[in-house]
Chain A
Amino acid sequence: DTGVSQNPRHKITKRGQNVTFRCDPISEHNRLYWYRQTLGQGPEFLTYFQNEAQLEKSRLLSDRFSAERPKGSFSTLEIQRTEQGDSAMYLCASSLGNSGVYNEQFFGPGTRLTVL
């Protein structure tokens, strides 16, 4: 399977715990994006990377959220001190970047987080 993969697919945690999600993009893609999707809403952008550089992080929801892409391949999204309001689907997408005018983002299946 050469698509975008995300792990775990489901995560249940207690309020106050830290969680970390992983995204493996399509191998030749240099851009990687994180989105959050709550029930009844469209995906909401959080942050993105070009290679290992995090180019936009002002949309991260609070300082409890952080993301890394240390070697420009896979990425992790961490949420510290989780709150019930963090319960959502976290989506990862990757693309070839702006090498052309058309820049399709390919999405993974998402990680569903439930905070009890």
Chain B
Amino acid sequence: GEDVEQSLFLSVREGDSSVINCTYTDSSSTYLYWYKQEPGAGLQLLTYIFSNMDMKQDQRLTVLLNKKDKHLSLRIADTQTGDSAIYFCAERGTPLVFGKGTRLSVIA
């Protein structure tokens, strides 16, 4: 079955890099996504990666995909206090399958 696992908490200092990790089980996933959820708000798509890619960079965001290990990571460079939020990894499907989310706290 489908399952997405994430670590629940991450705390970093402002200006450092953050790395949020995710493992998934569905090897047929064609797209993998990272969503951001701020308090009291819906989910915002941050970035995605297609399964035939190993890496995707988008400004401060870098996504790495290891298909063999079914491991996905999101690196946020120069983390700012505005990056404090919950980050969800999701596999493409109808429906999307989400992990439980990683709460990122940025310490000024």
Contacts and interface: CB of A to CB of B under 8 A. Distances in A.
Interface string A54-69: 0110010000000000
Given A35-B95, A42-B88, A103-B92, A110 B100 contact: no
Contacts of A56: 94-95
Interface residues of B, number: 24
Interface SS of chain A: loop
B10 interface: no
Interface string B54-86: 000000000000000000000000000000000
Contacts of B31: 101-102
B68 to A, nearest CB: 22
Nearest to A42: B98
A21 interface: no
B42 A101 contact: no
Given A42-B88, A101-B30, A102-B31, A107 B44 contact: yes
Contact of A104 (B4, B45, B50, B100): B45
B66 to A, nearest CB: 21
Interface string B31-52: 1000100001111110010100
Contacts of A43: 43, 88, 96, 98
Given A101-B30, A102-B48, A48 B43 contact: no
A40 B42 contact: no
Contacts of B44: 107
B72 to A, nearest CB: 14
A13 interface: no
A26 interface: no
Contacts of B97: 45
Given A56-B94, A103-B92, A42 B99 contact: yes
Interface of A: 4, 33, 35, 40-45, 48, 55-56, 59, 91, 93, 98, 101-110
